[in-house]
Chain A
Amino acid sequence: MTSQDRVPMVQLLNPEGEYGVPSAYAEYGKYIEALKEEDFLKFYRDMARMRRFDYEATALQRQGQLGLWIPAIGQEAAQIGSGYAVGHNDHIFPSYREHGVAITHGIDLMSILKMLRGVNHGGWNPDETRFHLYAIVLATQTLHATGYAMGVKFDGKVGNGDLENDLAVITYIGDGATAEGEASESFLFAATNKVPLVYFIQNNQYAISSPVATQTTVPLFQRGAGFGVPGIRIDGNDVLASYAVTKKHMDDAREGAGPHLIEALTYRMGAHTSSDDPTKYRSKEEEEYWKARDPLSRLEKFLRRQGINQSFFDECEAAGEELSAYVRSETFALGNPPIENMFKHVYSEAHPLIEEQLAWLEGYEASFENAPEQGGVA
């Protein structure tokens, strides 16, 4: 599509669903060879789950049930593959579109819908899930991740060959967010401190409506190089490349190799958010080009080649129906949260001003209970 597309990238599964490890990327082959059939099925199941969830959430937004929806259709391979490559101690600092990575870490999908309805601020416990809260402000998560990884290093939990205790950190960032100052600051600190951190850039081609070509003249996988963060480009619509390359660099980081950057070339098949209209800035032809590279159908072709039969795909379909029905009924029934939630986490300890504000608001709300209809102020 653009000059950037001529840059070689790691691809283990081509758009026809054929698996092969090019000699240049031989080092990644072993991660796929270690997988069992159940792992491939798991990838597909969760990618299908992610897509179905996305469709349902989009409909819920259009039905007035969510304030906003942030679609990730087309990015399933990048997210599910890399999500499963994260080790059992590792920490994840997502952006706001990582619903697939959330799935790989057992996040209750209703938590995400609640956030986009304005009912909570995420709602999951990052200590337990190791999947941190969504960062709405672009690229801030790269600094959180760098800081966390520096802490890991200070704690000496890197490079001991101790898989029980060593850990690495991964942060997800979009192509648009690489232009934020935070991203550059993060690269510098990650490199100079040689922290166990992997940057996973999902280059979905657009920063809302601005195409990548207007945001950078150098391919994004090279963005960290000057800071001392080497990078590699992968086919982000290839779940196996996403898994294998992330796995290798997370392992390396955990073992003390320092930060690394992965640029996953993918495509946001939907809108930036439910408030966006992509037909205003991109062509049908371009969408068709990427449709032919759909990550989900690519994996399906692969699985069918492996002899997986229809009943598996039917099961996935049925599971999708079930998930849809579940999130629909749960979302329709969501009430408003107690107003004290708004004040709860402003400070870690009790704070007199916050308490005063809460008391005032409670009084204000209560005043409606018995008040006659006032009908305006004059």
Chain B
Amino acid sequence: MSQIAYFNLPDVGEGLTEAEIVTWKVSVGDTVSVNQIIVEIETAKSLVELPVPFAGVVSELLAKEGDTVEVGKPIIAVKVAGTVGAVSTATSAIKIIDESEAAAAAADTAATVSEISTPAKTPNLVGYGVMEGSHGGSRRRRGPIAPTAPAVTAAAVAAAATHLPPANPATELHNTVVIASSEKVIAKPPIRKLARDLGVDITKLSGSGIAGEILREDVVNGATQASVFRNLSTPEAPKTSEERIPVKGVRKAIATAMVQSAFTAPHVSIFVDVDATRTMEYVKRLKASTDFAGVKVTPLLIMAKAMIWAVRRNPMVNSTWTDEEIIVHNFVNFGIAAATPRGLIVPNIKNAHEMSMLELAEAIQQLAATARDGKTTPADMKDGTITITNIGVFGVDTGTPILNPGEVGIVALGSIRPKPWVVNNEIQIRQVTTIGATFDHRVVDGDVASRFVQDVASVMEEPALLLD
């Protein structure tokens, strides 16, 4: 009897996740001996020659030169005369099957290889979509919940996701620990005090720190917006014009998975209803003020200002994805979707983050006038960093905006109209609107997206926050 032995790409460094096949030293049909060098691979660290663990005849090369292969995926199949001997299943480095099963396995393997970059096999990081449940073996530990664990809220998962590298079961395990036994709270005294100050029940939080420690942001995420703002300061505007974050590791994995999740652009949209009564009052006051005489003041202006402020607090929504890196812009070129007779265009206001409310109002007015006249230039539409679309003017409550290419965030302002709203346990008539927002999931995860939209919503609820 002979066997087919598969050699899976090993982690030859400490914690590498993938490697590129550089040169095959053998071909199908070649006879190989144990430890014969069969392939040269390039890892993130160096060029490495791999010795084959079996003697036999090469029956298949499962990756091409130039392919990037995930650690643990088979790269070569060797037909072994006789049997390989005892092989522990403790590592995923080798898989042996009898030749009689080879045909079926070959199909399997082909499937496995073709799945290398499909989202079905990648860990589900952010709580969106459904993860395929059919993987076995060591994979099963990714994202498990002990059966006794209570349901995890999407918010907790989203919050945890930012701290969880996908391929680190140990970290996930810590999170599960905390979810499963919420009585023992690990938190530093200042964090406990913060929780007390914000009125957050610390035992109800799931900690995202090491060993489930409750971190400042866990407490903040667990608090209501209004209480948070008293305790958080908005960071200083950075001095540099941009920050470059290399695209690799978890970020790259998220990106790959997300790209293939929905169409080709991984849009994720979220919505929040908000009581905009105070914004409407604010708009009314501004209109009446002498400073703003002759300038058009609308809820869109407040929303624009709110977004620029929220960008400073959540800079990732104001960035650009380039496959190699994420460019986080520390400036805001504020795009406004404008319906014109020639179709929808998205001119932007350059360096909107430097503008006062009045300057911004004038710039918006100017932009709208130029667009209406059909005089918007390509330069006006270039280099936008984030966009607003005012679908409320069409009488629509909300919608799912589509990203302006090159940007990762867009916010839709729905119509603002009187609706019943619960205030202090009583139904009152308030000016209510829905904010809808879409983000590029390659860059922006659920937690950041939610925080950003919450920030915008908070300002719509209480424009005085802009004074911070």
Instruction: Write out the residue numbers on chain A whose beta carbons fall within 8 Å of the beta carbon of B173.
Output: 364
B124 to A64, Cβ gap below 8 A? no
A378 and B12 form a contact (CB under 8 A): no
Answer whether residue A310 sits at the interface, using C-beta atoms and an 8 A cutoff. no
Residues of chain A lying within 8 A (CB to CB) of residue B135: 373
A274 at the interface (CB under 8 A from B): yes
Q: Mark B222-243, 1 if CB is under 8 A from A, else 0.
A: 0000000000000000000000
Q: Say whether B30 faces chain A, with CB atoms less than 8 Å apart.
A: no
Choose from B85, B126, B131, B147 the contact partner of A371 (Cβ within 8 Å): B147
Alpha-carbon distance between A371 and B154 when the two chains are bound, in angstroms: 22
Inter-subunit contact A334/B152 (CB<8 Å): no
B45 A373 Cβ-Cβ under 8 A: no
- Interface digits, A50-63 against B, CB 8 Å rule (1 contact, 0 not)? 00000010010111
Quick check: B127 and A333 within 8 Å, CB to CB? no
Of the listed stretches B48-56, B189-197, B403-411, chain A binds B48-56
State whether the Cβ of B25 lies closer than 8 Å to any Cβ in chain A. no
Q: Is there contact, CB below 8 Å, between B12 and A62? A: yes
Q: Closest residue to A368 on the B side, CB-wise?
A: B140
Task: State whether B10 touches A63 (Cβ < 8 A).
Answer: yes
Q: Determine the interface band of chain B, counting residues with CB < 8 A from chain A.
A: 35 or more
Interface: A121 (CB within 8 A): no
Please measure, in the bound complex, the distance between the C-alpha atom of A336 and the C-alpha atom of B48, giving whole angstroms: 27
Docked-complex contact A277 and B46, CB < 8 angstroms: yes
Assess the A374–B46 pair: CB atoms within 8 A: no
Residues of B within 8 A of A373 (CB): 133-136, 140
Question: Which chain B positions have C-beta within 8 A of A61?
Answer: 10, 12
Q: Which chain A positions have C-beta within 8 A of B177?
A: 360
Query: Taking the complex as formed, is A146 at the interface, i.e. its CB lies under 8 A from any CB of chain B?
Result: no
Residue of B nearest to A328 (CB): B34
CB closest residue in chain A, given B47:
A277
Query: In chain B, residues 300-359, which have Cβ atoms closer than 8 Å to a Cβ of chain A?
Result: none
- Which residue of chain A is the closest to B181 with respect to CB atoms? A360
Which of A56, A364, A367, A375: most chain B Cβ within 10 A?
A375
A375–B133 touching, CB < 8 Å: yes
Q: CA–CA, A280 to B142, complex, Å?
A: 36
Of B10, B127, B145, B157, which contacts A374 at CB under 8 A?
B145
Docked complex: B1-35 residues within 8 A CB-CB of A: 7-14, 34-35
Evaluate contact between A68 and B90: CB separation under 8 angstroms. no
Contact flag A378-B127 (CB < 8 Å), given A64-B10, A65-B93: yes
- B45 and A275 contact, CB distance less than 8 A: yes
Q: Does A335 contact B (CB under 8 A)?
A: yes
Are A274 and B128 touching (Cβ within 8 A)?
no
With contacts A62-B10, A275-B14 known, is A336 near B85, CB below 8 A?
Answer: no
Binary CB contact string for chain B from 66 to 97 against chain A (1 if under 8 A, 0 otherwise):
00000000000000000011111111111000
Which chain B residue lies CB-closest to A68?
A: B14
Tell whether B144 is near chain A: CB-to-CB under 8 Å.
Answer: yes
Q: How far, in Å, is B7 (CB) from chain A's closest CB?
A: 7
- Cβ of A15 within 8 Å of any chain B Cβ, yes or no, is no
Residues of B close to A63: CB separation below 8 A: 7, 10, 50-53, 93-94
Q: Contacts A63-B51, A275-B13, A364-B146 given: A376-B124 contact, CB under 8 Å?
A: yes
Residue of A nearest to B133 (CB): A375
Q: Please tell me if the beta carbons of A378 and B154 are within 8 angstroms of each other in the complex.
A: yes
Which residues of A have CB within 8 Å of B142?
Answer: 376
Contact: A374 with B144, CB < 8 Å? yes
Give the Cβ gap from A331 to chain B, nearest Cβ, in Å: 9
Tell yes or no: A332 within 8 A of B by CB. Answer: yes
Contact flags (1/0) for A259-275 with B, using CB distance below 8 Å? Answer: 00000000000000011
The answer to the question of A23 belonging to the interface, with a C-beta cut-off of 8 Å to chain B, is no
A63 to B34, CA, bound (A): 11
For A279, list chain B residues within 8 Å (CB): 46
- Judge if B130 is at the interface, Cβ distance under 8 Å: yes
CB A312 to nearest CB in B, in angstroms, measures: 25
Q: Within 8 Å CB of A62, what residues of B?
A: 10, 12, 48-51
Q: What CA separation (Å) do A56 and B92 show in the bound complex? A: 19
Contact assessment for A378 and B91 in the assembled complex, using a CB-CB cutoff below 8 Å: no
- B65 at interface by CB-CB < 8 Å: no
Set of chain A residues within 8 Å of B92, measured between Cβ atoms: 64
B123 sits at the interface (CB 8 A): yes
Q: Would you call B12 and A274 a contact (CB within 8 A)?
A: yes
How far, in whole Å, are A329 and B34 apart by their CA atoms in the complex? 12
A333: chain B residues within 8 A (beta carbon): 85-88
**Residue among B53, B133, B176 with max Cβ neighbours from chain A (10 Å):** B53
Give the docked Cα–Cα distance between A280 and B145 (Å): 45
Docked Cα-Cα span, A274 to B12, in Å, equals 7
In angstroms, Cα B15 to Cα A68, docked, is: 11
Closest residue of chain A to B49, judged by CB? A62
Q: Decide if A228 is an interface residue (CB 8 Å cutoff).
A: no
Q: Which of A260-311 contact B (CB under 8 A)?
A: 274-275, 277, 279-280
Distance from A218 Cβ to chain B, minimum over Cβ atoms (Å): 33
Closest B residue to A273 using CB positions = B14
- A376 — which chain B residues lie within 8 A by C-beta? 123-124, 130-131, 142-143
CA distance A170 to B45 in the complex (A): 36
Q: How far is the CA of A332 from the CA of B34 in the complex (A)?
A: 13
User: What's the Cα separation between A336 and B91 when bound, in Å?
Assistant: 9
CB of B201 within 8 A of chain A? no
- Taking CB atoms, residues of chain A closer than 8 Å to B143 are 374-377
Q: Contact: A377 with B12, CB < 8 Å?
A: no
Q: How far is the CB of B154 from chain A (nearest CB, A)?
A: 6
- Render A192-205 as a binary contact track against B, CB cut-off 8 A, 1 for contact: 00000000000000
Residues of chain B lying within 8 A (CB to CB) of residue A68: 14
- Given that A62-B51, A275-B13 are contacting pairs, would A378 and B157 also be in contact in the complex, using a CB cutoff of 8 Å? yes
Is there an interface contact between A334 and B132, defined as CB atoms closer than 8 Å?
no
A residues less than 8 Å from B126 (CB atoms): 378
A residues 69-125 touching B (CB-CB < 8 Å)? none
Among the listed B51, B86, B147, which residue makes an inter-chain contact with A329, where contact means beta carbons less than 8 Å apart?
Answer: B86
Q: How far is the CB of A345 from chain B (nearest CB, A)?
A: 20
Chain A residues contacting B50 (CB-CB under 8 Å) are 62-63
Q: Are B94 and A332 in contact (CB under 8 A)?
A: yes
Check B127–A377 contact: CB distance below 8 A: yes
Known: A62-B48, A63-B53, A277-B46. 7 other contacts (CB 8 A): A62-B49, A63-B93, A275-B45, A280-B46, A334-B90, A375-B143, A378-B127
Q: Which 3 A-B pairs have the closest CB atoms?
A: A64-B10, A64-B93, A375-B133
Question: Can you list 22 A-B pairs with a CB-CB distance of less than 8 A?
Answer: A56-B35, A59-B53, A61-B10, A62-B48, A63-B50, A63-B51, A63-B52, A64-B10, A64-B91, A64-B93, A279-B46, A332-B53, A333-B88, A371-B144, A373-B136, A375-B132, A375-B133, A375-B143, A376-B131, A376-B142, A377-B145, A378-B126
Taking Cβ atoms with an 8 Å cutoff, the residues of B that contact A are: 7-14, 34-35, 45-53, 84-94, 123-124, 126-128, 130-136, 140-148, 152, 154, 157, 173, 176-177
